[in-house]
Amino acid sequence: MRRPLAILILALAVCAAPVLLAAAEESCVTCHRGLTPGQVQDWESSRHAKMGISCSVCHGDAHSSSDDANLASLPDEQVCAACHEEQFGQFTAGKHNFGWTTLNALPVTHLEPDVLIEGGRGCGGCHNMGIKTAEQKADQLAKGYHYQTNSCDECHTRHAFSKKEALNPHACQQCHMGFDHPQWEMWTSSKHGARWYAKQAGDLPETAAAPTCQHCHMSGGDHEVRTAWGFLGVRLPMPEDEQWTADRATILKALGVLHPETGEATDLVGVIQAVDMARLTEEAWQTERDKMLKTCSECHAPSYAREQLEAGDAILKDADRLMAEAIEIVGDLYKDGIITQHDGYPYAYPNFLFFNQTGGNDMDDLSYIEQVLLEMYLKHRMRTFQAHFHTSPDYAYWYGWAQMTKDLGEVQELARTMRATHTAAD
């Protein structure tokens, strides 16, 4: 009910703009031109300014002087939705809508300093993606954080709100880079990226084929982003290959999704389902794969494209073998009492969801072997398969697979030393 009403009010506001809004608009713009000139310039360059969508359409007109700035409302995604229902609807159905919720679903988030989460300098700077529930907003306000109420300005930044800016791959860079998801580094150094840069420099014609992040992931302007394997690189149903099934089960145990002893699903499965963290049916996975194949096939032979994507699936299988071997070594240390269950951990078993804080709630009890294990999963396994999909040979081998083998060696060596010194101490 709320949205149609909002549309009506906004539509009226826009239609009546020349007369009714002129005064309010003037005062906002005049005062803010002196106060925040960069903001006003940005707005003036926007389609919004040209269409008469002034400051007060998004911020209301309750605040009108220097002493009542607290009365200005900060527009959430619903405000944009009143005029951009299509993009809003797609966004809501896609993976970006879960950024804030997945962040808060992890135990480690609640062990980190608040300014890294709510302050938006760390995790929260990237995971602000996603519409916050009324509860989540109230929680933020109670903690004293009142910005970051809108995800739409993550790609078309305020107050230019430009489509062209959002189509530039740099719009994705801030978040899709670095430690555990270096898609930016992989794409820029791939032939796809090299062509895009050559085009920008005028060395290839405007018509040259050079796929960007948006071309492959927001085809046709669709805001519903999602991939087949997702971030975690796991899916259901289990594969036909027995070894791969066993290896994936081991990884799911370290993710806390399967019970380490019984192998049964834990409560976390509900969370994974709620935030769409992995494709849980063959059909859901295939839908995404088919969409991607169609995109590749705009420029490559379909059989060529299929082969490339299947190479990505195949490396995931081999990477999972190494990964499971390492997890089992650390799991055995728990079993033999050489590592004891950390405070806050659900089981006596390694748990990736605590990230580098491998001591659970206890910073004096960090476990180094588990930090090596975490990097193997989060940094190096990610690179190994993500690089295959983003056609980056260097990331696939040297920053990915080669580092996984090094990690496995380190885990083996550390376990040997731990066992030796443990017995000696007894």
Residue 214 lies near ligand HEC (rule: CB under 6 A): yes
Residue 39 lies near ligand HEC (rule: CB under 6 A): yes
Of 61-69, 134-142, 315-323, 409-417: span binding ligand HEC (CB under 6 A): 61-69
Tokens representing residue 269 in the block: 């499965």
As measured in angstroms, the least distance from the Cβ of 68 to ligand HEC is 8
Residue closer to ligand HEC by CB (options 250, 386) is 386
CA angle 349, 350, 352 (to 5 degrees): 140
Residue closer to ligand HEC by CB (options 183, 415) is 183
Cα torsion 231, 153, 292, 387: sign: negative
Cα torsion 10, 15, 20, 22: sign: positive
What span, in angstroms and rounded, lies between the C-alpha atoms of 393 and 187? 11
As measured in angstroms, the least distance from the Cβ of 241 to ligand HEC is 18
Of 55-63, 339-347, 373-381, 405-413: span binding ligand HEC (CB under 6 A): 55-63
Q: How far is CA 65 from each of CA 52, 328, 400, rounded to the nearest angstrom? A: 22, 64, 56
Residue 352 lies near ligand HEC (rule: CB under 6 A): no
Of 98-106, 260-268, 315-323, 340-348: span binding ligand HEC (CB under 6 A): 98-106
Residue 69 lies near ligand HEC (rule: CB under 6 A): yes
Residue 354 lies near ligand HEC (rule: CB under 6 A): no
For residue 94, how many other CB atoms are within 10 A of its CB?
19
Considering only CA atoms, which of 75, 99, 45, 55 is closest in space to residue 153? 75
Residue 375 lies near ligand HEC (rule: CB under 6 A): no
Selected binder of ligand HEC within 12, 299, 301, 314 (CB under 6 A)? 299
Which residues on adjacent β-strands are paired with residue 265?
A: 258
Of 215-223, 244-252, 336-344, 394-402: span binding ligand HEC (CB under 6 A): 215-223
Residue 250 lies near ligand HEC (rule: CB under 6 A): no
What span, in angstroms and rounded, lies between the C-alpha atoms of 173 and 242? 38
Residue 23 lies near ligand HEC (rule: CB under 6 A): no
For the chain, the distance separating the N- and C-terminal CA atoms, rounded to the nearest angstrom, is: 69
Chain mean position to CA 185: 16
Which residues on adjacent β-strands are paired with residue 258?
A: 265
Residue 48 lies near ligand HEC (rule: CB under 6 A): yes
Residue 95 lies near ligand HEC (rule: CB under 6 A): yes
Residue 305 lies near ligand HEC (rule: CB under 6 A): yes
Considering only CA atoms, which of 19, 44, 11, 46 is closest in space to residue 29? 44
Residue 45 lies near ligand HEC (rule: CB under 6 A): no
Of 167-175, 253-261, 339-347, 408-416: span binding ligand HEC (CB under 6 A): 167-175
As measured in angstroms, the least distance from the Cβ of 287 to ligand HEC is 11
Considering only CA atoms, which of 115, 59, 63, 80 is closest in space to residue 6? 80
Phi-psi region of 161 (alpha: psi -120 to 50; beta: other; left: phi over 0): left
Residue 74 lies near ligand HEC (rule: CB under 6 A): yes
What span, in angstroms and rounded, lies between the C-alpha atoms of 100 and 225? 15
Selected binder of ligand HEC within 129, 234, 251, 339 (CB under 6 A)? 129
Residue 27 lies near ligand HEC (rule: CB under 6 A): yes
